[in-house]
Structures are given as structure tokens and as C-alpha cells.
Amino acid sequence: MRAPDPIPAIAEPIVIFVINRAWSPDSDSQATYDATRMYWRVGSDTRERSRYALGVAGGIVRGAFRIQSWHSSEEEGRWGFEGVPAPELGVVGTSVERLAPPRGAANPVRRYLDGVPPAEERPVESLAHELNIEPLARIMYGQRELFHSNLLAWFFDTLPETADSVFRDLTVDDPSGIGSVRSVERERESLDLVLRWPAAAPLVIENKVFSLPEREQLDEYRNKTAKWKGARAQHVLLSMSPPREPVDGWTYLSYQELSERIDLALAECDEVSYEIETVRRYSRIVRLLSALLDTTAVHSMKEPVWLDGDQLAAIDLRQTRTALQKLRARRVQVVLEEMGVHRGWVEAGHTRGGPLVWWRRGVRVGGISIQAGWQYQSGQFRRCVVLPHLIGRSDGDRNARAEFAAAHPQLFDFAPLDDVLGHTDLLPMPLEGFGHFAPDFVHRYVKAPDLTIEQLVGATQAIDAQLEALGE
């Protein structure tokens, strides 16, 4: 699952319009243009200087246009423009998550009249710093999904009109009128949020932040709500990362789009209060957090597998560093799966040694069915086997596994990987014998701290071909 490329630097003056409410995945080029071009509160400086306008929905550029003229609307202070497509910018489909607005901002119009700046060389430090000075962000540490769910429930109860502008169009009317009370429920039947309005179908929100959504869990929740009375519940997956593939009955809502929806609702609210300011700051935190998680996305096969350790060191909280490493491992796992690993399977995880990805497949050796493949963790690339027939934690079990490994050295041979890994001068470790992880894992490794995803794909192909030749 390769993420959209980030928006590149643009030297020309740009104005960005958030068009979430007027755009949908079914919108054609004309509909995208109409959603972008009118009507907005833009001052004379913006109208005089801006040369291009971008329509953004869900954090992605949906349309780019060269502005030719401006015209006023019937509503005082709002303006629209006439323009033509601007393919020369090459930005449609790119992500604007790195362009987090300044603190306190909640405006569907975002001005970059000096151009869109290039991506920072070390964005993680900047994002971590901005999050660290936000009080709400500090409160949420260690309970992220719970924090978001609780705050959204408070928002729904405390600012009903503004919250309805954010959420009401995500469900449908219920002609039966069974639902008669506006309410919000937390953790009903393990569901994160259930929003209700009079004469509307319940809106179920499953909330994910650092974890990737799983189809099995979403299917289970949908089966639960199917038993409810009244109109069938509508289901929204609120997540930093989309599911690997569309899930029947669930609408994906990114946190980036949630932030944009909140900003649009707040822009229409003239109230000044503690509650409004809390929601405004929460929207900014969501955008910063979304941008931080975007740094774990895979944009190129030539990227290093792991995140830059120096950048991670800028994040004060160990839990956040670990969560980012886990998410990166999962995203690498998805890319490897999408690259067509037809035999075997890929796993991702995190241990005290750090994040890891792991590919293995079944093979019969010496008349015995085992699993063999590779594991990559903390700069160690391991050729490994799992020996279900020798599972155990005693010294005798360990010795039996070592004897099996010694009898089949081809399973730990790094020679076929010399061209792939580019580490032909390194000796496999340990120099004598094998490494073990109880109860059934045996390995040898070479030090390879900077492997790319492309190299992991190449290693998988090379080992798979060797195992296919060795198998009985």
C-alpha cells in the first residue's frame, strides 16, 4: 500500500480550498472544478497575488487550476474564480498532509502566496515539537484511541450544531422514526462510538490511530449492528490509514478529512468560547498527528526499510516511537504482499529488539515439513527456519534443532543473496553454530543496517527460488 507522494515545492503563489463537502470519489473533472472555484472568503491580497488554486479533499489534491479571473458572489465577502486545468503543476493525487496549518487555524482557505515550500529535510523533529507543545496532545499520550473517542463524544454532546455539520451527512434518514433522541454511546458492544439523531440511522464509528484496520474485526462489528432495530446502521472507519481494500458496508474517513470537516464547520461558527477553541486545537493536533504518521508511509521501493533513527530520537515519548516503528513495519509488510509474494506469507511486528518484518514459506526437507525464509530486524538480515517437529524449550530440544540446522546448511546459505544484499564481504553470524529463539526458531544473520524495500523483495525472490529447488 504505497501512500500518495507528498505535494512538491511550487514556486508560484497558491491558494488551497478544502472541498470535502462538495467532492466525492465519483466527481468528474467538471464537478471538481465547480467545487473548487466558488465561493470563498478571500481577501484582495489573495485575489491579486494567487496564480493557482488547488481543490483538496481528504488531504489529497483533487484538482489544480490556473486562475484567470475572480468574481464576487451575491453573499458579501465571498468570491469565486474562473480558471483552466493546470497539469503543469503535477500535483493532482499528491498529499498535502505535510502542510499542517499554523496553531489555532481552522479555515477551509489556505494561502501559500509565497509558494508551497519544499519538504523539510527533518520533518519528524518539527512535527514532534509542535505536538509536544500542545496540551491536548500531551494529555492523549498512552491512550490515543480512547482519547479521540472520548473527545469526539464530548464534542457531539457539547457543540451539537457544529458536530452535526461534521457527522450528520455520514448517515441516512430513517423514515420509520424509531430513533427519537440525539445521543452518543461509548463502547457499546465494543463499538468505539455510536452517534444517534432523531429519525436517522445510527452512525457507528470504529476508531483506529496507529493500528491498521482488519477486515475480520470490521465484519464482526457489522454483524452485531445488523441485529439492531430500525434503519440499518451506517458504518464509518475513522483511521489514519485506509484498509488494504474496501470493506463492504464501511465508509473510510481519514483523520485528515475529519480535521478538514471540523475546520469547515468552525469556519461557519461565529461563537468564541473555550469549547470552540478546544475543538479548534484538537483539529490541529489531528492534522499534525496525521502528518507524523505519514512519515511512516512507503513512497518508493528504494526507501530504507526502517525509519531514520536520528529523527525518531527527536520524539520524547517511547510509546510514540514504538507506535511509529510498528506502523512502518506493517506498511512494509503490505507493500511486500502487494509485490506478489505468491508462496508463503509476510508478517510484521515489534519486539524488544525493535520492529521486524518476516517472510517464510513451507518446504519439505529430508522428508520433514518445515518453514524457511528470512527475518529483518535491527540491522540483522537473518536466514531462518521454523521447526514445528522440534518445538520445545529444553536444552535437548535446542540441541536437536541445532543438529537439524547443521545437517541442512543450504537453508542458511547467504551466497545466493550476494548480489541482492550487497554485503559479500560479511560473514554470517554466529561464526560457529546458530542463533535460537525458543521454542522453534533457528537462524544465522549478516549485518545489513540499511536495506531497502526493493532489496527485501529481491531477497524473497532469491530465497524462494532456492527453496523451490531444494524442496521435495
Q: Residue 340's domain is classified under what CATH number?
A: 3.30.1460
| Per-residue pLDDT tens listing for the chain (472 residues) | 456 788 888 999 999 998 887 888 889 999 999 999 988 988 899 999 999 999 998 888 999 999 999 999 988 889 999 999 999 999 999 988 777 655 445 578 888 988 888 866 557 777 888 888 888 888 876 557 888 999 999 999 999 999 999 999 999 988 776 666 899 999 888 889 999 998 899 999 998 877 767 788 888 888 888 888 878 899 999 988 777 677 788 988 888 889 888 888 887 777 789 999 999 889 888 888 888 887 888 888 899 999 888 878 878 777 788 888 988 998 899 888 887 666 889 999 888 888 999 999 999 998 899 999 999 998 899 999 999 999 999 999 999 999 999 999 999 999 888 888 876 567 888 888 899 988 999 999 999 888 999 999 999 999 999 999 887 6
Question: Phi-psi bin for 313: left (phi > 0), alpha (psi -120 to 50), beta?
Answer: alpha
Query: Are 103 and 143 in the same domain?
Result: no
CATH of the domain at 286: 3.40.1350
Query: Are 23 and 82 in the same domain?
Result: yes
Whether 198 maps to a domain, the answer reads yes
Domain span at residue 51? Answer: 14-115
Query: Are 92 and 239 in the same domain?
Result: no
Q: So what's the pLDDT on residue 195? A: 95
Residues 6+ apart with CB under 8 A from 258: 166, 238, 286
Per the structure block, which three cell numbers stand in for 232? 440499518
Query: Are 395 and 362 in the same domain?
Result: yes
pTM for this entry: 0.72
Whether 8 maps to a domain, the answer reads no
Whether 225 maps to a domain, the answer reads yes
Strand runs labelled E in 182-319: 183-188, 191-196, 203-207, 234-239, 250-254
Query: Are 146 and 245 in the same domain?
Result: yes
- Alpha helical stretches, state H, 96-159: 123-132, 135-140, 144-158
Q: Which of these three, 115, 135, 166, is where a domain ends?
A: 115
Whether 299 maps to a domain, the answer reads no
Per the structure block, which three cell numbers stand in for 243? 484498509
Whether 141 maps to a domain, the answer reads yes
Query: Are 29 and 72 in the same domain?
Result: yes
Quick count: other Cβ atoms within 10 Å of Cβ 469? 8
Query: Are 189 and 100 in the same domain?
Result: no
Quote the CA–CA distance of 121 and 102 in Å, as a whole number.
Answer: 19
DSSP state of 353: T
Query: Are 199 and 227 in the same domain?
Result: yes
Q: Measured between alpha carbons, how far apart are the two ends of the chain, in Å?
A: 34
Angle at Cα 93 formed by Cα 32 and Cα 203, nearest 5°? 70
Q: Which of these three, 94, 115, 136, is where a domain ends?
A: 115
Query: Are 76 and 136 in the same domain?
Result: no
Whether 6 maps to a domain, the answer reads no
Could you give the 3-state DSSP secondary structure of residue 275?
helix
CB distance 82 to 63 below 8 Å = no
Whether 156 maps to a domain, the answer reads yes
Query: Are 287 and 332 in the same domain?
Result: no
Q: So what's the pLDDT on residue 12? A: 92
Query: Are 130 and 268 in the same domain?
Result: yes
Half-sphere exposure of 252 (CA within 13 A, CB side): 20
Residues 6+ apart with CB under 8 A from 151: 136, 282
- The number of distinct structural domains making up the chain is 3
Query: Are 179 and 255 in the same domain?
Result: yes
Whether 311 maps to a domain, the answer reads no
